[in-house]
Structure 1
Amino acid sequence: MWKVLPKFGLAKILVLLLCSIVTTGLIWATKGWTGVTTFFNEDGFSIISSLLIPVLICFVGITWLLGVYLWRWLWKIPVVGSLLNEKVCPDLNGTWIGKTISTYKDEHGNPYEKEVEMVIKATFFGFDIRLVSVDKYQRSTVMQSEILKDPRDGAFYLSYIFESVVDQPKETDDAKFDGAARLHVRFEGNDIKLVGRYWTNRGWQRNMQTAGTISLQKD
């Protein structure tokens, strides 16, 4: 989520937070603004030095809490949460249920369809995705992922690179393969859907095309 928000705006917020903590510490140490002159004429700098580590610890702790937990409270406020999802960054945390439709055809000429489950854990500092097929035939681990906002139309996109493992592959299948996907974060009323395409190197040595579409909705 860090990549979605304007960097300059985030920097200003963090600097404001740090200045607020420092100012509060100085006011407390000087017993109010009237004690500032006396404070520096006596042993003020040694007191500032002793306050430096606690201030930094508070700053890091508050920043971590805001980036990992507290931000989601804002996203859960009615109306405000909807605006933040659509204008700032969507909260994709949770379990997503959907299906994939592959361009690869079975022996009857029908495209392969598979029900899948995706679990997303997102903070301001990290983004983790796990994807498994409901029939447990294969499981995917996302190696790199990010959510981006397209400046051309303001739409959000979830992109990721994954590695899939098939524990007991069929004779015509691979035990391991890599792939990538790009999903559009689509707002439909109060619901959010993830819709897009994926492609893999599954079966490339057999001149097979393994790509398809994926659609997901929060459970």
Structure 2
Amino acid sequence: MKVKQTWFRTDVTFLPNLKTPLLGSETISVEFLKSENGKKSIAWIYEQTNRQDNTQPLAVTDQPKFYGSAVLHVNEDATELKGQYWQNRSWSRGLNAAGLIAMKRAAK
């Protein structure tokens, strides 16, 4: 995952790898939240595109494109994002995906 921030926009992108069908993702919206007790979170909505070709066909339950969202909580030293995600992947089959996600900042 890569987070890029400018003065006017924040983009969160999942980076493709050979272990998943992910071709790319595009940020629709990112909002930074701070609760009354000071905890920080990120609300993120994205569109994901999956790879489709003869060498790596999608699973029967997968889709070439879908939307997802996540609410990720930032730990105190801002080195980890952790929270829940939801997707409308294969919603027409009643197979919406949801789960937990945790990401740590890569060492430079």
What TM-score results when the alignment is normalised by the length of structure 2?
0.81
Q: Is 1:182 the counterpart of 2:71 in the alignment?
A: yes
The alpha-carbon distance between structure 1 residues 133 and 170, as it changes in their structure 2 partners (threshold 3 A), is: same
CA distance in 2, matches of 1:155, 1:125: 23
Return the structure number with greater helix share.
1
Match of 1:205 in 2: 92
Return the structure number with greater strand share.
2
Q: Indicate the percent of aligned positions where both proteins have the same amino acid.
A: 33
**Equivalent position to 2:31, from 146, 167, 185:** 146
Match of 1:48 in 2: none
SS state at 1:120 partner: strand
CA distance in 1, matches of 2:48, 2:96: 16
CA distance in 2, matches of 1:155, 1:218: 18
Alignment of 1:92-111 (within 5 A): none
Alignment of 1:31-70 (within 5 A): none
SS state at 2:37 partner: coil
SS state at 1:183 partner: strand
CA distance in 1, matches of 2:78, 2:70: 21
- Give 5+ residue unaligned stretches, structure 2: 53-57
Return the offset for 1:142: 1.1
**Equivalent position to 1:195, from 57, 78, 82:** 82
**Equivalent position to 2:10, from 94, 115, 127:** 127
Report the number of matched residues. Answer: 99
Return the offset for 1:122: 1.5
RMSD: 1.6
SS state at 1:132 partner: coil
Encode CA deviations 1:52-111: one digit per residue, 9 max, x unaligned.
xxxxxxxxxxxxxxxxxxxxxxxxxxxxxxxxxxxxxxxxxxxxxxxxxxxxxxxxxxxx
- Give 5+ residue unaligned stretches, structure 1: 1-117
Q: Is 1:170 the counterpart of 2:55 in the alignment?
A: no
CA distance in 2, matches of 1:163, 1:198: 13
Match of 1:25 in 2: none
Match of 2:55 in 1: none
Return the offset for 1:132: 2.7
CA distance in 2, matches of 1:167, 1:192: 30
